[in-house]
Structure 1
Amino acid sequence: MKTRSHRSPRRARRSLSAVSLLLILAGGGCSGGGETTLTGAMASPRHGHTATALPGGRVLLAAGLTKTSPLGAVELFDPRKNAFEAAAGLEVRPRGWHRATPLRDGRVLLSGGWAGPSIALREAVAIRPGGRGTPPVLMLQGRYDHTATLLADGTVLLAGGNDGRGEQRAMEIFDPPAGRFLPTARPLLVPRQLHTATLLPGGEVLILGGAQGDGARIAELYLPAERRTRLVRSYAAAARSRHTATRLPDGRVLIAGGLGPDRTLDTAELFDPRKGAFLPVKARMRTARQQHTATLLPDGRVVLLGGWGGGEGRTLGDGEIFDPEGACFAPLSVPLRAKRRLHTATLLDGGGVLAAGGASDDEVLATAEILRVPPRKPGGGC
Structure 2
Amino acid sequence: MIYINSIGQTTQLPNYSCSENNASIQFTLSSSFHSAWNQTSSCSLQQCNTSLNDNNNCLSSSTPCFDYRTINNISYCAPGILCSILERCNNITQTCSSNSSVCVINSCCSPQAVCLPLLATYMCKTGTDAYYLYFRLHRNQLKPFILVIGWFSTGNMSNARWGHTASLLSNGKVLVTGGYSVTVGILNSAELYDPSTGAWTTTINMTNVRYYHTASILSNGKVLLAGGADNSGTLNNAELYDPSAGTWTTTSNMTNARAYHTASELSNGKVLVTGGLYNNSINLNSAELYDPLTGTWITTGNMTNARWGHTASILSNGKVLVIGGFGNSGILNSAMLYDPSIGTWTITGNMTNARYYHTVSILSNGKVLVTGGFNGYITLNTAELYDPSIGTWTTTSNMTDTLELHTASVLLNGKVLVTGGRRNGNNVSNSVELYDPSTGTWTATNDMTNARYYHTASVLSNGKVLVTGGINVNFVTLNSAELY
**TM-score bucket of the superposed structures, by smaller chain:** 0.7 to 0.9
Among 299, 304, 320, the residue aligned to 2:418: 304
Q: What residue is the counterpart of 1:365 in the other structure? A: 478
Q: Distance in 2 between matches of 1:90 and 1:64?
A: 12
In 1: Cα distance, 2:338 partner to 2:365 partner: 20
Select 2:323's aligned residue among 182, 185, 208.
208
Q: 1:260 aligns with which of 375, 380, 405?
A: 375
Query: Unaligned stretches of 5+ in structure 2?
Result: 1-11, 16-61, 63-128, 132-147
Question: How far 1:366 sits from its partner (Å)?
Answer: 1.2
The alpha carbon displacement at 1:25 in A equals 11
Q: Given the superposition, is the C-alpha separation of residues 71 and 195 from structure 1 closer, same or farther in structure 2, using an over 3 Å criterion?
A: same
- Please say if 1:251 is aligned against 2:366: yes
- In the TM superposition, residue 136 of structure 1 has moved relative to its aligned partner by 3.5
Shift of 1:350: 1.3
- 1:78 equivalent to 2:210? Answer no
The corresponding residue for 1:38 is: 153
Whether the 8 Å contact between 1:25 and 1:35 is mirrored in structure 2 is: no
| Secondary structure at the counterpart of residue 326 of structure 2 | coil
Q: Which letter does structure 2 place at the counterpart of 1:295?
A: S
Which of these residues, 235, 244, 251, is aligned with residue 121 of structure 1? 235
Counterparts of 1:271-310 in structure 2, within 5 Å, are: 271-281=386-396, 283-309=397-423
Query: Where in structure 1 are there 5+ consecutive unaligned residues?
Result: 1-23, 372-382
One-letter amino acid of the counterpart of residue 477, structure 2: V
Give the whole-Å Cα distance in 2 for the aligned partners of 1:60 and 1:235.
35
Q: Distance in 2 between matches of 1:153 and 1:49?
A: 27
Letter matched to residue 308 of structure 1: R
Q: Which has the higher contact order (CA 8 A, sep 6+)?
A: 1
Using the TM superposition, give the Cα deviation of residue 218 of structure 1 relative to its aligned residue in structure 2, in angstroms. Answer: 1.1
- For 1:169, which of 264, 285, 293 is the aligned residue? 285
| Letter matched to residue 260 of structure 2 | D
The CA distance in 1 between the partners of 2:180 and 2:13, in whole Å, is 24
Partner of 2:263: helix, strand, or coil? strand
Q: 1:98 & 1:73 partners in 2: Cα distance?
A: 14
* Pairwise CA distance, 1:26: 8.7
Is the contact made by 1:25 and 1:319 (CA closer than 8 Å) also made in structure 2?
no
> 1:5-154, aligned counterparts within 5 Å?
33-67=148-182, 69-87=185-203, 89-116=204-231, 119-131=233-245, 132-154=247-269
Q: Which amino acid aligns with 2:392?
A: A
Give the secondary structure class of the aligned counterpart of 2:188.
Answer: strand
Q: CA deviation at 1:160?
A: 0.2
Counterpart for residue 40 of structure 2:
none
Distance 1:306 1:227, change over 3 A: same
Cα distance in 2 for partners of 1:114, 1:223 equals: 29
- What letter is aligned with 1:52? S
Query: Quick one: which of 351, 354, 357 aligns to 1:236?
Result: 351
Q: Which protein shows a greater Rg?
A: 2
The 3-state SS of whatever aligns with 2:332 is helix
Instruction: Give the TM-score normalised by structure 2.
Output: 0.68
Is contact 2:414–2:437 with CA below 8 Å preserved after alignment? yes
- SS of aligned partner of 1:174: strand
Q: Distance in 1 between matches of 2:454 and 2:302?
A: 28
Partner of 2:433: 320
User: How far apart are residue 36 of structure 1 and its match?
Assistant: 1.4
Separation of aligned partners in 2, 1:74 and 1:150: 22
Paired residues, number: 341
How far has the Cα of 1:368 moved from its partner? 1.1
Q: Distance in 2 between matches of 1:42 and 1:246?
A: 27
The residue number in structure 1 matching 2:444 is: 331
Give the TM-score normalised by structure 1: 0.85
Distance in 1 (CA, whole Å) between partners of 2:251 and 2:291 is 14
